[in-house]
Amino acid sequence: MIGEKARLATIAVFLFFLLAAALLIHPAGQPGNAAMDDYFIGNGQAETGSNNIVTSVVFDYRGMDTLIEASVLCAAATGVFLAMGRQKDEE
């Protein structure tokens, strides 16, 4: 009997947090305004030479971060292939 009450309490707490998250989420298409947004929009093309603001942020402003992320993904893929080992055909 105690196990059933604990299960119902867990479900109730989970549903409470799910409802709270749904009520507190930003409406779609209405993100909060940050000071960096205005800086990137105002200076992005002049500083980077790119017409696309997303491209200028990813490759110019955060270029080293993007390079490190790509290196980590490459290392992870290499590790997976090495861990799997070579599978030889048994013919």
Domains of the chain, by residue range, sit at 35-84
3-state helix, strand, coil in the chain (%, to 5): 75, 0, 25
Cα Dmax for the chain: 69
The confidence band for 18, taking pLDDT boundaries of 50, 70 and 90, is very high
The yes-or-no verdict on residue 89 having pLDDT over 50 is no
Question: What digits encode the pLDDT tens for the residues 40-52?
Answer: 888 888 998 888 9
